[in-house]
Amino acid sequence: NSSEAINTDIVTLPRFILESQQQFKQARGNLTLLLNALQFAFKFISQTIRKAELVNLINLHNSSITINATGDVQKKLDIISDEIFLNAMKSCGVVKILVSEEQEDLIVFQGNNINDQTYAVCCDPIDGSSNLDAGVAVGTIVSIFKIDPNVKDLKQNVLRSGNDMVAACYAMYGASTHLFLTFGQGVDGFTLDNNLGEFILTQPNLRIPQQRSIYSINEGNTFNWDPKISKFIDLLKNPQSEMNNNCVPYSARYIGSMVADVHRTFLYGGLFSYPCDKKNKNGKLRLLYEAFPMAFLVEQAGGKAVNDFGERIMDLKPKHIHDKSSIWLGSTEEINKFLTYIA
Ligand code: AHM
Ligand code: MG
């Protein structure tokens, strides 16, 4: 009986959002509007990336800038994605402030009704863009804060502790397009069904494995690291060290796309890090739209996220919108090993 094989009662993202927001009696539907705009941006970026690969291959491998049929210089994918994101946030009517990795300053949307513009959104429209030309997974990372109407200096609405985030998510454009989302009550995973054009709930209440012997770090930076960091990574590789309960060396896995490396860490466990080094004195990854949202998601899935000094990422507070931080995140036991080591 073919009807038995098909689940006809699937949970789409809009259904999931409606059902979860209905629990909150005072909810005005603004977050629902925002998430609707976000998922549209993710679908649009996903499609654009998938189309671009073919277009670029046809256009003589000049993949970052190409000439289109009318002779215009086509924009880089990260710029197009930034525009897609910006337009989606602007048009949904509930966003007052947007911070994007692609924009030097924050963007303030002038809405008709200030009371409706309840959110500040920070995003990296395409994270891991150095991987784009090779067709490797990249993603969009987003953190969401609520606007405090009493704060006069608008920038202060995002120069806050990570604990103030009300939601965070990332979309990963890989073999499938995935979306991991948290409102601070666990993490739910969705997969884009291209035929339906909907994100489908595929991983409800996702938990990150407590332990796994995988480390994910750009080891090419070893000579620029603090020797303490190199020593820690050496201990992970040494099957006889106190770090290795199983007497097997750790495996190295590094894609170079934070979203893809963190996504794997979510599913398989292990640790991911981008520490400070001589070139990147405060690390490389940005607090507002890389470290914060990933730390929120990882903690909500039962993992941990700290900086080189063992401070919780969520407790940090940026001084500038593009501030960076070192980061260690992943399985609780793996991050605890790092914390014990640096103590
Ligand atoms: P991007 O936002 O310009 O793409 O840079 C961030 C990326 C992360 O996705 C990734 O973790 C890191 O940079 C990789 O850096 P490196 O090439 O130095 O290892
Ligand atoms: Mg980035």
pLDDT at 129: 86
Residue closest via CA to ligand 1's atom 18 equals: 218
Atom of ligand 1 nearest to the CA of 220: 19
211 pLDDT above the threshold of 60: yes
pLDDT of res. 60: 47
Residue 69 or residue 187, greater confidence: 187
Question: pTM to 2 decimals?
Answer: 0.93
Site to substitute for ligand 1 among 218, 255, 271, most atoms within 8 A of C-beta: 218
Distance 126 CA to ligand 2 centre (A): 7
SS3 content of the chain, % helix, strand, coil (to 5): 35, 25, 40
Instruction: For this complex, say whether ipTM is above 0.90.
Output: yes
Residue 137 near ligand 1, beta carbon < 6 Å:
no
Angle between the 77-91 and 30-58 helix axes, to the nearest 10 degrees?
Answer: 160
- Statement: residue 332 has pLDDT above 90: yes
Measure 127 CA to ligand 1 centroid, in angstroms: 7
Q: Which residues surround ligand 2, an ion (CB under 5 A)?
A: 124, 127
Report the chain's mean pLDDT, rounded to a whole number. 90
Q: Give the pLDDT score at 111.
A: 75
Q: What is the pLDDT of residues 101-123, one digit of tens each?
A: 999 999 999 876 666 789 999 99
Strand order in the sheet with 214-216: 251-252, 214-216, 271-274, 327-330, 304-306
d(CA 14, CA 198): 8
